[in-house]
């Protein structure tokens, strides 16, 4: 089966092809680069064999010019190869960004774990590795065959010495892998856990400071950091031992090569020029294998990063459609909806079925833990139903292509989830938009004048920890974001949790306007005051519908007093201030 061109599987495959093409180009360059490295030993041999015996200055000048030209070619090829690796790293990151982030978002939704930040770090580590010299070591080792052949032609004994040291270096690489792989893996996992703990704690800095929790948290961080450092020390110590052995062998290689060459000179089998050429070629043939001892750790870490990215993308493969589809004025139909999270035996939602038409407002009530927020996430297509389905205009909200579906949906979650930016970007959902559309949404949420009184207006930054906006202002800003673009389906989860009475009246008026233009609005609330605007009501208990029908009928069944309060709130909402005011 051929993956679709914009699917995560296709983009992952494209990243592999990018790497393969880059390796082919870099391999070809490395081959010629290693040939260029033969210039130095050839120069030595010719100087000792031709220039000195003949005392020819012209030959020496010619060899020097050729040598300088060869060194220039070597530098140019080395630059091109390094540039190729840098471009490979950039293109690899570009290919991986979209599928990895898509998979990270889906994984975060499914498991509640922030995979997005982790996958970004993995992509960055992978890009840095591909752009570094470590990635060229295997190609240099493969091209070392050129030097081995040259050594054989100088004298077979040189080739035997080089092969012997190469075998020892390869064994050292295997030993390094066996000694450090587990420790490096555990150190990386411990580091990820430690960083997650610190980042999660620092998001609640006010609570930490107010209740004096910092000393306890520092002790917790030190324990997790100690675990990470213990594994790192183990891996580092073992690597240092092997590295010391490797460097000692490199020093001994010079002595063995010179000693072997001196023996061959004394035996009359080679001359002094061949001795020095053999020393250079032996070092160049063994060098890549000794470098592998130092770069092995980088290869292990890069392999683990690629494995995590690939696993994340493959496990989070989405069945969602990729063809954009517009949303017409159709009904919202929920058919026998079940949702069972992973690791649970009892469904959170059990057999929900109802239908809403354009221009209807549904209020959902129920005790905490009844499944109201889970229902909202299923309605918006965030969660995949375990059975049954949610359909808007005849199409599954989960399978719908997210770009076109997102334009037709307004969603205000309990957590608000305001992304860092400014007010204009927040309302426009981080898109480049017409300012008139942004102002229209702000007016619908009754915050246009409030924004105008801020020092920077629509350029006011919205960022966690800045405290430029109050809780109520941020909730109404999230409401404006949900109303942006006049969506067909609007789902508001606890939209009045931070609002005062004036804010609630503005909310009710905004919902009424959305209903009047034909939108389907669903509100989840514990306080009955905002239910005044609802046409229908639903009561959820333990994931099942216990009451559903016209608002007045459901309220009568629940409590006559609640109906009186709801009607009073509705009358107050009708006398709301002008829509561009600061309610």
Kindly tell me the burial class for residue 34, based on how many C-beta atoms sit within 10 Å of its own C-beta (0-12, 13-18, 19 or more): buried
Domain positions in the chain are 8-315, 324-408+489-495+520-576
Whether 326 and 404 have beta carbons less than 8 Å apart is answered as yes
**Residue 40: enclosing H or E segment and its boundaries?**
helix 39-46
pLDDT tens-digit profile of 100-134?
777 777 776 666 555 666 778 888 888 888 888 78
CATH superfamily ID and name for 324-408+489-495+520-576? P-loop containing nucleotide triphosphate hydrolases (3.40.50.300)
Higher pLDDT, 466 or 350: 350
Mean pLDDT of 418-447: 89
pLDDT score of 490: 94
Whether 7 and 102 have beta carbons less than 8 Å apart is answered as no
Q: Are strands 536-541 and 544-550 parallel, antiparallel or unpaired?
A: antiparallel
Q: Which residues contact 143 (CB under 8 A, 6 or more apart)?
A: 30, 31, 33, 34, 288
Does the pLDDT of residue 297 top 90, yes or no? Answer: no
Does the pLDDT of residue 1 top 50, yes or no? Answer: no
Mean pLDDT of 146-159: 88
Q: What proportions of the chain, in percent to the nearest 5, are helix, strand and coil?
A: 65, 10, 25
Does the pLDDT of residue 8 top 70, yes or no? Answer: no
Q: What is the pTM for the complete model shown? A: 0.70
Q: Kindly report the backbone phi and psi dihedral angles of residue 545, in degrees, each rounded to the nearest multiple of 5, phi listed first.
A: -80, 120
Confidence of residue 9 (pLDDT cuts 50, 70, 90): low
Mean pLDDT of 433-454: 90
Share of the chain above pLDDT 70, in %: 89
For residues 522 and 167, what is the distance between their CA atoms, to the nearest angstrom?
71
Does the pLDDT of residue 432 top 60, yes or no? Answer: yes
Q: What's 8-315's CATH class?
A: mainly alpha
List helix spans (H) across 112-213: 115-130, 137-154, 156-202, 205-210
Q: Which residues contact 11 (CB under 8 A, 6 or more apart)?
A: 95, 96, 98, 99
For residues 541 and 212, what is the distance between their CA atoms, to the nearest angstrom?
39
pLDDT tens-digit profile of 223-246?
877 877 888 888 788 778 877 887
pLDDT tens-digit profile of 269-287?
888 888 888 888 888 888 8
**Cα-based angle 150, 153, 158 (whole degrees, multiple of 5):** 75
Among 61-75, 175-189, 436-450, name the one with the lowest average pLDDT: 175-189
pLDDT score of 522: 95
Does the pLDDT of residue 145 top 70, yes or no? Answer: yes
Q: Which residues contact 533 (CB under 8 A, 6 or more apart)?
A: 361, 363, 508, 511, 512, 515, 523, 570, 573
Structure-token pair, residue 110: 């499914």
pLDDT score of 421: 85
pLDDT score of 274: 86
pLDDT score of 576: 45
pLDDT score of 6: 55
pLDDT score of 251: 82
Does the pLDDT of residue 91 top 80, yes or no? Answer: yes
3-state secondary structure of 245: helix
pLDDT score of 581: 42
Confidence of residue 137 (pLDDT cuts 50, 70, 90): confident
pLDDT score of 90: 85
pLDDT score of 363: 92
Among 55-64, 68-77, 244-253, 465-474, name the one with the lowest average pLDDT: 465-474
Residue 563: C-alpha distances to residues 532, 537, 548, 575 (Å): 8, 12, 15, 19
Share of the chain above pLDDT 90, in %: 19
Mean pLDDT of 53-61: 85
pLDDT score of 189: 78
For residues 508 and 496, what is the distance between their CA atoms, to the nearest angstrom?
10
């Amino acid at each position: 089966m051929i993956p679709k061109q914009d699917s995560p599987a296709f983009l992952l495959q494209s990243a592999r092809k990018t790497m393969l093409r880059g390796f082919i180009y870099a391999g070809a360059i490395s081959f010629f680069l290693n040939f260029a490295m033969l210039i130095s030993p050839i120069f030595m041999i010719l100087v000792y064999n031709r220039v000195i015996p003949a005392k020819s200055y012209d030959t020496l000048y010619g060899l020097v010019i050729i040598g300088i030209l060869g060194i220039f070619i070597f530098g140019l090829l080395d630059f091109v190869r390094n540039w190729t690796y840098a471009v490979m790293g950039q293109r690899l990151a570009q290919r991986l960004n979209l599928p990895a982030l898509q998979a990270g978002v889906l994984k975060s939704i499914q498991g509640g774990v922030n995979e997005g930040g982790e996958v970004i770090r993995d992509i960055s580590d992978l890009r840095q590795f591909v752009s570094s010299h470590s990635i060229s070591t295997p190609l240099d080792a493969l091209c070392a065959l050129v030097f081995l052949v040259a050594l054989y032609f100088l004298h077979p004994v040189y080739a035997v010495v080089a092969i012997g040291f190469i075998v020892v270096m390869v064994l050292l690489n295997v030993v390094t892998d066996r000694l450090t792989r587990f420790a490096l893996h555990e150190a990386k996992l411990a580091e990820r856990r430690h960083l997650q703990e610190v980042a999660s704690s620092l998001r609640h800095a006010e609570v930490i400071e107010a209740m004096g929790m910092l000393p306890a948290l520092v002790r917790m961080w030190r324990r997790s950091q100690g675990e990470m450092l213990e594994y790192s020390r183990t891996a580092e110590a073992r690597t240092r031992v092997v590295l010391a052995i490797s460097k000692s062998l490199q020093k001994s290689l010079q002595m063995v090569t010179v000693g072997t060459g001196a023996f061959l000179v004394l035996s009359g089998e080679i001359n002094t020029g061949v001795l020095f050429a053999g020393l250079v070629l032996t070092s160049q043939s063994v060098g890549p294998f000794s470098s592998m001892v130092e770069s092995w750790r980088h290869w292990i870490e890069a392999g683990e990063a690629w494995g995590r990215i690939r696993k994340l993308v493959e496990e989070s493969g989405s069945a969602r459609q990729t063809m954009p589809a517009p949303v017409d004025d159709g009904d919202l139909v929920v058919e026998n909806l079940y949702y069972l999270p992973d690791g649970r035996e009892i469904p959170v939602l059990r057999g929900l079925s109802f239908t809403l038409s354009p221009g209807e407002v549904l209020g959902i009530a129920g005790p905490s833990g009844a499944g109201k927020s889970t229902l909202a996430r299923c309605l918006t297509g965030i969660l995949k139903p375990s059975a049954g389905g949610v359909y808007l205009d005849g199409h599954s909200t989960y399978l719908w292509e997210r770009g076109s579906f997102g334009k037709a949906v307004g969603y205000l979650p309990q957590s608000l989830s305001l992304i860092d930016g400014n007010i204009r970007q927040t309302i426009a959902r981080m898109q480049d938009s017409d300012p008139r559309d942004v102002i229209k949404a702000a007016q619908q949420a009754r915050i246009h004048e409030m924004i105008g009184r801020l020092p920077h207006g629509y350029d006011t930054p919205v960022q966690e920890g800045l405290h430029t906006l109050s809780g109520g202002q941020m909730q109404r800003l999230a409401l404006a974001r949900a109303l942006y673009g006049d969506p067909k389906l609007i789902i508001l989860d606890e939209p009045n949790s931070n609002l005062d009475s004036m804010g609630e009246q503005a909310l009710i008026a905004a919902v009424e306007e959305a209903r009047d233009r034909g939108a389907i609005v669903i509100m989840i609330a514990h306080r009955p005051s905002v239910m005044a605007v609802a046409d229908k009501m639903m009561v959820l208990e333990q994931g099942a519908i216990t009451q559903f029908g016209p608002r007045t009928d459901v309220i009568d069944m629940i409590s006559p007093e609640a109906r009186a309060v709801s009607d009073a709130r509705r009358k107050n909402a009708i006398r709301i201030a002008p829509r561009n005011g600061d309610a």
